[in-house]
Amino acid sequence: MSAVADAQAGALVSTDLAVGGMTCAACVGRVEKRLARIDGVTAGVNLATGRARVLHPAGVAVEELIAAVERAGYTAEPAGAGQVPADREEEPAQRWRLLVTALAAVPVVLLSMVPSLQFPAWQWICFGLAVPVVTWGSAGFHRRAVRGLRHGTATMDTLVSLGVVASFGWSAYALSFGGAGTIGMRMPFSLTADGGGGAHVYLEAAVGVPLFVLAGRLLEGRVRRRSGSALRALAELGAKEVCVRDPRSGLERSIPIEQLLPGREFVVRPGERVATDGVVVDGGSALDLSLLTGESAPVEVGPGDAVAGATVNVGGALVVRATAVGADTQLARITALVADAQAGKARAQRLADAVAGVFVPCVLAVAVAVLGFWLGAGADPQAAVTAAVAVLVVACPCALGLATPTALLAATGRGAELGVLVRGPEVLESLRRIDTVVLDKTGTLTTGRTELTDLTVVDGVDADEVLRLAGAVEHHSEHPVGRAVVAAARARCGSLPAVAGFTATTGVGVSGTVEGRPVRVVRPDDAAGPLPAALAGALTRAGAAGRTPVLVELDGRAVALLAVGDTLRSGSWRALHRLRALGLETVLLTGDGPGAARAVAGELGIEQVHFSASPARKAEVVTELRAAGRTTAVVGDGVNDAVALASADLGVALASGSDAAIGAAGLTLVRGDIEAVVDAVRLARRTLATIRVNLLWAFGYNVVLIPLAAVGLLNPMLAAVAMSLSSLLVVGNSLRLRTWQPGRGGGAARRRGGGTGPGRGPAARGRRTAPGVTG
> Within a 13 Å sphere around the CA of 177, how many CA atoms are in the beta-carbon half?
4
Using alpha carbons only, give the angle 117, 118, 122 rounded to the nearest 5 degrees.
Answer: 135
CA 775 to chain centre: 52
Dihedral in degrees, nearest 10, Cα atoms 5, 6, 8, 10: 160
SS3 track for 448-483? EEEEEEEEEECCCCCHHHHHHHHHHHHCCCCCHHHH
- From residue 160, alpha-carbon distances to 103, 280, 358 in Å are 20, 60, 17
Q: How many residues belong to the chain?
A: 775
Pairwise CA distance, residues 328 & 310, whole Å: 13
Pairwise CA distance, residues 527 & 331, whole Å: 52
Helix, strand, coil % over all residues of the chain, rounded to 5: 50, 20, 30
Pairwise CA distance, residues 610 & 589, whole Å: 5
Cβ atoms 331, 273 nearer than 8 A: no
Cα dihedral across residues 452, 454, 458, 459: positive or negative: positive
The DSSP code for 377 is: T
51-57/632-636 β-pairing: unpaired
- From residue 157, alpha-carbon distances to 25, 99, 131, 209, 661 in Å are 11, 20, 19, 12, 47
Pairwise CA distance, residues 766 & 568, whole Å: 5
Cβ atoms 323, 309 nearer than 8 A: no
436-439/585-589 β-pairing: parallel
Helices (H) and strands (E) in the chain, counts: 28, 29
Q: Which of 16, 380, 440, 673 is catalytic?
A: 440
Query: For the stretch 141-171, what's the b/e string if a residue is b when 16 or more beta carbons lie within 10 angstroms of its beta carbon?
Result: bbebbebbeeeebbbbbbbbbbbbbbbbebb
Active site residue 440: yes
Task: Give the number of other Cβ atoms within 10 Å of residue 101's Cβ.
Answer: 24
- From residue 623, alpha-carbon distances to 462, 635, 642 in Å are 53, 15, 14
| Closest listed residue to residue 307, CA positions, set 339, 273, 341, 333 | 273
DSSP assignment of 196-242, as one string?
T-PPEE-HHHHHHHHHHHHHHHHHHHHHHHHHTHHHHHHHH-S-SEE
User: Known catalytic residues?
Assistant: 440
